[in-house]
Amino acid sequence: MPSLDNIELLSVLSPVERQALAAKCSWKNYSSGKQILERSSTSRDVFFVVEGTVNIVNFGVSGREVAYASVEAGQYFGELSAIDGRPRSANVIANKECLLASLSPDNFAELLKEHPEVSIQVLERLARIIRVNDERILDLSTLGAVQRVCQELLRMAKPDPLNADSWLIYPMPTQSAIASRVSTTRETVARVLGQLTNEELVFKKGKSLYLKDRARIEEMISNLASSTSNVAR
């Protein structure tokens, strides 16, 4: 049987406990593009991403895709319905071939009760999701499309472990994925990335995008906001 040893949430469990939990899971492979969960479905299982990546998305009335997040191998999703018993709030689609382990809500509740440290990690994750969503709601209300793209790049970037003056995004999402996250078009994302590259603020290498000057990108966002405000007056 495959193991849950790479699931970050379960790292506090002993190997024997993880093996016992794996035996309680249902295991299934999904091909790239396959829908795993449908919004409003009554499935309440929690899913551990053992291999692959999944996208959490919704679709507007016009059919436009809105991306919430990508869940990589080692992470999990579906905890909201397992906790509150309500229908799914989003669609989940395999981004590449995946191996998922699903755990029933009763077994998930038992896990949380028996391991308070796991419960704390789930609470911390939910708090992060709320904070990110609050930031995105504010961005949509106050920033233009170019600013939102820049802000999303800053949000995704992590410190470069090899260069204290640089930040990086790895793996760099597709332009379409970024566009759906910030409610704009792929063409706008391409134009912003082109401008940032021409001004030597970012450069792409392999699957990584490096941000050479985070402060100047933040300044660009601020300057765009000022110019928009002046026009409005």
Locus of tokens 């040893």: 5
What tokens appear for 203 in the block? 């450069």
* pLDDT (0 to 100) of residue 144: 94
Strand partners, 26: 102
In a domain, 2, yes or no: no
* pLDDT (0 to 100) of residue 197: 96
- Identify which of 96, 65, 92 has the alpha carbon closest to the alpha carbon of residue 176: 65
What tokens appear for 213 in the block? 């000057």
Residues 44 and 150: their CA atoms lie apart, in Å, by 36
Residue 104 shares a structural domain with residue 13: yes
Residue 56 shares a structural domain with residue 163: no
Residue 42 shares a structural domain with residue 148: no
Residue 69 shares a structural domain with residue 184: no
* pLDDT (0 to 100) of residue 2: 85
Which positions ≥6 away from 170 have C-beta within 8 Å? 158, 207, 208, 209
CB 58 within 8 A of CB 93: no
Domain span at 161? 144-232
* pLDDT (0 to 100) of residue 223: 87
* pLDDT (0 to 100) of residue 231: 39
Q: Side chain identity at 15, as an amino acid letter?
A: P
CB 221 within 8 A of CB 147: yes
* pLDDT (0 to 100) of residue 67: 84
Residue 78 shares a structural domain with residue 188: no
Residue 185 shares a structural domain with residue 211: yes
Residue 87 shares a structural domain with residue 194: no
Q: Which of 138, 167, 188 is the last residue before a domain boundary?
A: 138
CB 191 within 8 A of CB 199: no
In a domain, 1, yes or no: no
Residues 113 and 172: their CA atoms lie apart, in Å, by 37
Residue 60 shares a structural domain with residue 164: no
* pLDDT (0 to 100) of residue 39: 93
Q: Hey, how many other C-beta atoms are within 10 angstroms of the C-beta on 185?
A: 14
- Residue 204 — φ and ψ, nearest 5°? -105, 135
* pLDDT (0 to 100) of residue 226: 65
* pLDDT (0 to 100) of residue 227: 61
CATH number for the domain including 167? 1.10.10.10
Q: Which of 138, 170, 201 is the last residue before a domain boundary?
A: 138
Q: What is the total count of domains within the chain? A: 2
- Residue 77 — φ and ψ, nearest 5°? -155, 170
Q: What are the tens digits of pLDDT across the range 104-146?
A: 999 999 999 999 999 999 999 999 999 988 998 899 899 999 9
CATH number for the domain including 86? 2.60.120.10
Residue ranges, the chain, pLDDT below 50: 230-233
Residues 146 and 209: their CA atoms lie apart, in Å, by 18
Dihedral of the alpha carbons of 122, 124, 128, 133, in degrees to the nearest 10: 60
Q: In terms of residues, how long is the chain?
A: 233
Q: Which of 106, 122, 138 is the last residue before a domain boundary?
A: 138
Which stretches of the chain are DSSP H helices? 15-24, 79-84, 105-114, 116-142, 145-156, 175-182, 186-198, 214-232
